[in-house]
Structure 1
Amino acid sequence: MTTKIQTVLLTGKTHTTASRREGAPAGEELVDIQLSTPGNAGNEISLKAIQLHPTAEQLFAGAWSACYTGALGLAAKTKKVALPSDMSVDIEVDLGKTGNAYFIQARIEVRMPGVAHDVAEAIAQAAHEACPYSKAVHGNIDIATNVIVTDPVAA
């Protein structure tokens, strides 16, 4: 049973995309992770640069996002679905309190433009079943997953 957070103290955010880097071996998918600084809208931190003081929530969200993105690829391959090149995963991990106890909770947004919604939902669920981070927190924290299949600008 998960406990709902009454007061959010801070949020660690990530935006993860699968990308091909110049010089990477053929077929090797790599992950770029962008982190935001809590309380500083628009101030992104890149894991490609020196990281001064990321929060535990940012690091957890980043590791989970990287793992989950890989699991999405495996789930899509199993279902014989090609993921769009502009697929992305945004994870927000909140640190908060209920009474005197501290908890975390998470929101996951998966963007798979051009994939049928039911197929994208099935891939997202299968990825949760495969991802060790998703399995570790399943039933322990409140998690909301939202799958988006259309580009909001084009919709």
Structure 2
Amino acid sequence: MKIFYKTRATATGGRSGRTELDDGTLALDLAVPGSGQIGANPEQLFALGYAACFDNALPFAAKQLELQYTSSKTSVEVGMGMSSSGGYVLDIDLYVEISGLSQEDAEKVVVATHQICPYSNATRGNIDVRIHTTTV
């Protein structure tokens, strides 16, 4: 595998601590959901990354299918729960809104995008991901 890009982040203090990119471009305080503390949590950060990555991969998939759309918007909901074996697991709903295509073509683009997006590839087979496609 050829690596195109690599970044590094460091966290201290776990969910109640701080995380930052080692290059200094972004740093965030962290807080446990429901704690009343101000800060983000890892699920929110995962949702941000997945949404941006998937939305960026959409034009590549559309081009492969020789389809053109006007605009897109991708939202990702990340939940955390417990598996039957007692371990923590993530649960994802991926909402993609595309304008300029029929519902059928939009779904084709989203399915193709789900095959090329690095986050989708990382989650496939170990995290439940439900895809919701709408057209405007």
C-alpha distance after superposition, 1:59-95 (max 9, x if no partner): 111111111111101111222322223x211100101
TM-score relative to the length of structure 2? 0.67
C-alpha distance after superposition, 1:33-58 (max 9, x if no partner): xxxxx67xxxxxxxxxxxx6221011
C-alpha distance after superposition, 1:71-129 (max 9, x if no partner): 101111222322223x2111001011235321101001111134111111110011111
Select 2:73's aligned residue among 88, 107, 113: 88
Whole-angstrom CA distance in 1 between matches of 2:76 and 2:69: 19
Whole-angstrom CA distance in 2 between matches of 1:55 and 1:109: 20
Q: Which has the higher helix share?
A: 2
Counterpart secondary structure, 2:99: coil
Counterpart secondary structure, 1:103: strand
One-letter amino acid of the counterpart of residue 115, structure 2: E
Select 1:72's aligned residue among 50, 58, 72: 58
TM-score relative to the length of structure 1? 0.59
Query: Larger radius of gyration, structure 1 or 2?
Result: 2
Residue 56 (str. 1) matches residue 38 (str. 2): no
One-letter amino acid of the counterpart of residue 147, structure 1: T
Whole-angstrom CA distance in 2 between matches of 1:59 and 1:84: 27
Residue 139 (str. 1) matches residue 132 (str. 2): no
Counterparts of residues 114-129 of structure 1 (less than 5 Å): 114-129=100-115
Provide the identity percentage. Answer: 34
Whole-angstrom CA distance in 2 between matches of 1:129 and 1:114: 22
CA RMSD of aligned residues (A): 1.7
Q: Which runs of 5+ in 1 are unaligned?
A: 1-37, 40-51, 151-155
